[in-house]
Amino acid sequence: MKLIILDRDGVINEDSDDYIKSPDEFIPIAGSLAAIARLKQAGFTVVVATNQSGVARRLFDIGTLNTIHEKLQRELARFGAGLDGIFFCPHGPEDGCECRKPKAGLLREIATRFQVDLDCVPSIGDSLRDIEASREVGAMPILVKTGKGQRTLDKHVTELRDVAVYDDLAQAVDALGN
């Protein structure tokens, strides 16, 4: 199985420091949906692993989160694609859960669900916590400059020196040969 793990906000859709709280605020980054479609056409199993602390902060509920993800799947269907799974952490930073990145609980859940070893599986994110979670399970971390990516790169140059960096998801997918 060819698996790839994507963060959501800042990788697939525009990010906001105020959180993506409704389907109307979910705006795909140019080229990201077509890039996912290319991955699917190349035979990849494509999953999302995303922190969604807005649930714990009571900015939106699980029903709204599901509606946002339904919109994402509808948008992808226009490209003849869809995600094979969306894994999310609804907890806040103080909750001490194992699923909130930079901890790797979400990624371990993906490995269990799909019965795969995550060694060298591409894992694309826009924050240091995405990179750290990927490293913890032996996945291949990739940083995109969209979302908080450029800010992350500027702030953590040393920690990211061995991480592939691309302008956006489309460019990262091109680099993977798809």
Write down the pTM of the prediction.
0.97
- Please identify which of the residues 9, 126, 130, 168 carries the catalytic annotation: 9
Give whole-number Cα distances, 175 to 5, 77, 97, 101, 148, in Å. 15, 24, 34, 25, 20
CA distance 146 to 15: 9
- Please identify which of the residues 7, 15, 126, 130 carries the catalytic annotation: 7
Residue 156 belongs to domain spanning: 2-175
Is the separation of the CB atoms in 104 and 111 below 8 Å? no
Is the separation of the CB atoms in 163 and 131 below 8 Å? yes
CA distance 141 to 134: 6
CATH code, domain carrying 115 = 3.40.50.1000
Tell me if residue 174 is catalytic.
Answer: no
Each of the 178 residues of the chain gets a pLDDT tens digit; together they read 999 999 999 999 999 999 999 999 999 999 999 999 999 999 999 999 999 999 999 999 999 999 999 999 999 999 999 999 999 999 999 999 999 999 999 999 999 999 999 999 999 999 999 999 999 999 999 999 999 999 999 999 999 999 999 999 999 999 998 6
Domain count, the chain: 1
